[in-house]
Chains A and B, each alone.
Chain A
Amino acid sequence: DTAVSQTPKYLVTQMGNDKSIKCEQNLGHDTMYWYKQDSKKFLKIMFSYNNKELIINETVPNRFSPKSPDKAHLNLHINSLELGDSAVYFCASSQDRGGTSSYNEQFFGPGTRLTVL
């Protein structure tokens, strides 16, 4: 009954390949995110997506694309993998409660460690 799950946990691949990482949340949330954590542990938002809009961090290369088959899933597709793509990728989700209050808590998945050789 994991809230936010990701597969695979580890992914090792060659440069130039295309790969996907899957994310599923069973919290009924309406917004999902992808983050990249580099080797120095810096966490950077890549995408934010709900059924209304996709927000893209302008620094993310267009080789990365999120795809949402339904509200509970946001998969990350990466084309033409490069060495610098090696990192841990985290999926997260939150529920927009509307109104003017506060932070909609983001719940993170366990991460996918991607290694590009």
Chain B
Amino acid sequence: GQQLNQSPQSMFIQEGEDVSMNCTSSSIFNTWLWYKQDPGEGPVLLIALYKAGELTSNGRLTAQFGTTRKDSFLNISASIPSDVGIYFCAGQLYRGNMLTFGGGTRLMVKP
């Protein structure tokens, strides 16, 4: 089956720093998604990407759909303590298909 490799697995940064994480796949996806999971909660959608090359922002978050359709990255600018959590990428081949999730990036922010 399809595999999503997400890196880094964890990051420990200072408040105010920018963060970058990425996701690569062994095969193409037509939709890329980025979710955040807070401790003890379910994942919440941050950004959805639908076209190769698309760059989308949501506040301090920016995500891009790679031109090969096999990768995506998420940037967080000027991190704050509430950015702490696990960030997951996910891919979907066709609408209605099941999602495939990456292994997650655990972000820790030091005030």
Q: What is A's interface to B at a CB cutoff of 8 Å?
A: 4, 33, 40-45, 48, 55, 57, 90, 92, 96, 100-106, 108-111
Chain A residues with Cβ below 8 Å from B31 are 102-103
The answer on a CB contact under 8 Å between B103 and A41 is yes
Please report the C-alpha to C-alpha distance between residue A40 and residue B48 in the assembled complex, in whole angstroms: 24
Most-contacted residue by chain B among A43, A90, A96 (CB, 10 A): A43
Q: Determine if B40 and A111 form an interchain contact, defined as CB atoms under 8 angstroms apart.
A: yes
State the Cβ distance, A80 to closest chain B Cβ, in Å. 25
Bound form: Cα–Cα A108–B50 in Å? 21
Bound state CA distance, A86 and B45, in angstroms? Answer: 25
Q: Is the CB of B98 within 8 A of A45?
A: yes
Q: How far is the CA of A55 from the CA of B99 in the complex (A)?
A: 12
> Which of B37, B42, B48, B101 interacts with A102 by CB under 8 Å?
B48
User: Distance (Å) between the CB of B99 and the closest chain A CB?
Assistant: 6
Instruction: Report chain B residues within 8 Å CB of A100.
Output: 95
Chain B positions within 8 Å of A104 at CB level? 95-96
Please determine whether B95 and A48 come into contact, CB atoms closer than 8 angstroms: no
Chain A's closest residue to B33 (CB) is: A103
CB atoms of A43 and B101 under 8 A apart: yes
B33 neighbours in A (Cβ, 8 Å): 103
Contacts of B66 in A (CB 8 A): none
By the criterion CB–CB under 8 Å, are B48 and A103 in contact?
yes
A40 to B103 CA separation, bound complex (whole angstroms): 8
Choose from B48, B92, B99, B101 the contact partner of A42 (Cβ within 8 Å).
B101
A103 near B95: Cβ-Cβ < 8 Å = yes
Residues of A within 8 A of B45 (CB): 105-106
- Residues of chain B with a CB closer than 8 A to A96's CB: 96
Asked whether A90 and B42 contact (CB < 8 A) given A41-B104, A102-B95, A104-B96, the answer is: yes
The listed residue (B42, B48, B98, B106) touching A57 by CB distance below 8 A is B98
Assess whether B86 is interfacial by the CB under 8 Å rule: yes
Check A42–B44 contact: CB distance below 8 A: no
The closest CB in chain B to the CB of A46 belongs to B98
